[in-house]
Structure 1
């Protein structure tokens, strides 16, 4: 097993310090490909340690060595997780226009749009990849679940946008129950206010609450990062709330 392989294996085993030690010894390697992999590994190991700010210069250097969408997208996700969604969105649009991006990249960035002003942008991106989801054999139910997670990011009055796509055969009650299981107590109480109405209303509905734009203080999941071996950043799903990283 090469040193590069050992480094990526260390990241796969969550031994980020070992990966950093291996990569640091390869940063000045005379071979361009090895140097590039070393900088990418330094970025990814720091990222996975949640030292996102420290990961940025390594990904930037990796892009300078070999310009490619993976390292650019890693940079994009760094800015997204640091809360700079305007910069992340500009990077994302630039990458997509130059290379085009896999569906998984869209899903990852969409899950980071946690501000109300970004809701329509997130929905637009989901609409763009819906055909790809169908071609990949991913069901409409999965697509709706992702969209539903977005709706719960923002406000109760965003849920009607989701339900406009729900077919008569879709088990809305079960769908809502699955989200309730992920919520903290405040979120569960908020959802209870509208669950009956949601389950028995077809199409758009209104929520008779003084403050309908109720933000859910939901939990953040960051551990499920195993969709890919090398580019595990693509598997990160910031489902609820904002991740506080430094």
Structure 2
């Protein structure tokens, strides 16, 4: 059960939007809102700002998120096998394809390890399910003025996790066509995180004078040091392909799926 404390009209609208969007999709790699939901006015509370509580019932997944699992593995200096990395990633691509091919196309807007549920299955690859559609919106948006660009940036700063946020959501041009390739950037960051436990840009937060925004805007990826990285150059190039600062240079989800299927075939043979 997901419980949300609602204190403002904006928060109430966000919850209603999440309920609407969660109910749109039916795909094995997207978490469905199938069971029930309720938005209840709060009475008899000493905190007058608490106006509503929302309850959303989702299917149960007991193994936690990809972030939880990756954090434990990193603490043990363990990593996923190449095959497992690709199998998890392939499922995220399948879920996003369902959203991107919807009419109209939807962007998730917050693809990251913390929003990926993992369920271990005996004798099968882990099941990966993308969740949390509170930031999902129709993907395509025309920006035709500086005020519209600033409005999008402000919205993104509140709804899109900074280490996984696409450059055009950090500094949006006054004339731009935003589309589902914002998710492709986040997907590339997430593939890096499946391999190495963090976003490729989080290093900037720990550097003196470092800037996460500049690292993102310039696609300054920092790979783990060492002469024998656990993953081949093929996967590094795959990440680079998705992390193009210019959205028009990024692949679409269908291109990514074709490529990941080739990699799965290569590394499982």
What is the TM-score of this pair, normalised by structure 2? 0.24
Q: Name the structure where helix makes up a greater proportion of residues.
A: 1
Q: Name the structure where strand makes up a greater proportion of residues.
A: 2
